[in-house]
Structure 1
Amino acid sequence: MTRFGFGEGVLVALLAAMLASVAQTGLGLLLPAADVGQLLCIGLGFGYGLYLLARSREHVGRIVVAIGWVAVSFLVVALTAGLWPQVLAQLVLVWLTRVLYYHTETFAALVDLGLLVLGFSAAIWVLERTGSLFLTIWMFLLVQALFPLIPSRPDGGERADPPQDPFVAAEHTAEHALRRLSARQ
């Protein structure tokens, strides 16, 4: 698992907030506000999801996750007429992506869920206080920048106790060596 730091998360938050503010201004001239909100929500969620996938060492299923993300996003658009179901869908998709690609334990996944809820709550508070899209997105993603600090097993979820069968142990060692070799390329 490629661990990235808080500083990188802060830069991602700043970039996403600036891009969303510019996109809101530009799209606001062409589309109704409700459509702009949906597009921004999908764009931010999908962009953050692609960022998570790109930073993950795991290569399996990336295309399926990206296609599934787009499909779920547009299914929510087709079935609902509001921004909040889309926001909820994007939060769930972010959480599932982080669980699939970064966490090996249930506790870490639950802490991550708590971090998402905390970030969403902070973003809603900022939105009510300021009405600023930039500050709202900045606050949400700033809290999400804490995500790399969630404890996880350093060995990628592998068991500490060796298997009893020597053939299984040899297979496990060979798979581990292949993973290390493929990660270096």
Structure 2
Amino acid sequence: MSRLGFGEGVLVALTAALLASVVRTALGGWLSPGALAHGLCIGLGLGYGLYLIARSRERVGRVAVPILWAGISLLIVLLNAGLWVQILAQLGLVWLVRALYHHGRPLAALLDLGLLLLGCLAGLWALEHTGSLFLAIWTLFLIQALFVLIPGGPDADRREPATADPFETAERAAERALARLLH
């Protein structure tokens, strides 16, 4: 599996913004604005979470995390907690998945939290100044595409030190490749 890149994140941002706009247009006349907003929020959050899990090398929690995610999201809807609670829950769940599945160090997870909050504020700014859902979601997810540039991700722990014996490095690489083939 190739490493996540910024270009892939840009495509995810474009896809999320287009899908949200299409769904809003298609279902806008059928659902109340509140139900549509909750549905879009849950759909975007869970969809992005599934993408993050699928692109991770970790195998633990691939079934449990999405079930827990959906349960938390639906509980917020059932409790009528409001759209802002749902948005904050989705952002928190995205951060949790990225921290657990894509960052190997606490500092990287904190930087990721800052990036997530920056993206949220930029998305709100875009929505406020343009009134465009497409631009708001595009801005939010475009900033999220930068998370791959945060140092200390899982690949940082797997890189070999420069002074390692070339034979040991090749042996470990072969063991990892064999382990991937067996799983």
Which bin holds the TM-score, normalised by the shorter protein? 0.7 to 0.9
- Residues 101-140 of structure 1 show CA distances to partners (whole Å, capped at 9, x for unaligned) of 0111110000000000000010011011011000000000
Structure 1 CA distance for aligned equivalents of residues 175 and 137 of structure 2: 40
Aligned residues between the structures: 173
Q: Say whether the 8 Å CA contact 1:115–1:143 is kept in structure 2.
A: yes
TM-score by length of 2: 0.86
What is the DSSP-based 3-state SS (H/G/I as helix, E as strand, rest coil) of the residue aligned with 2:109?
helix
Structure 2 CA distance for aligned equivalents of residues 154 and 67 of structure 1: 24
Q: Say whether the 8 Å CA contact 1:119–1:141 is kept in structure 2.
A: yes
Q: Which residue, 157, 176, 179 being the options, matches 1:182?
A: 179
How far the C-alpha of 1:78 sits from its partner, in A, is 1.2
Q: Structure 2: 5+ residue runs without aligned partners?
A: 161-170
TM-score by length of 1: 0.85
Q: Where does 1:114-129 land on structure 2 (aligned, <5 Å)? A: 114-129=114-129
Residues 154, 20 of structure 1: alpha-carbon distance in 2 compared, 3 angstrom cutoff? closer
Query: What is aligned with 2:68?
Result: 68
Residues 133, 154 of structure 1: alpha-carbon distance in 2 compared, 3 angstrom cutoff? closer
How far the C-alpha of 1:182 sits from its partner, in A, is 2.8
Q: Structure 1: 5+ residue runs without aligned partners?
A: 161-173
Structure 2 CA distance for aligned equivalents of residues 78 and 179 of structure 1: 45
Structure 1 CA distance for aligned equivalents of residues 35 and 148 of structure 2: 33
Runs of 4+ aligned structure 1 residues displaced above 6 Å come to: 174-177
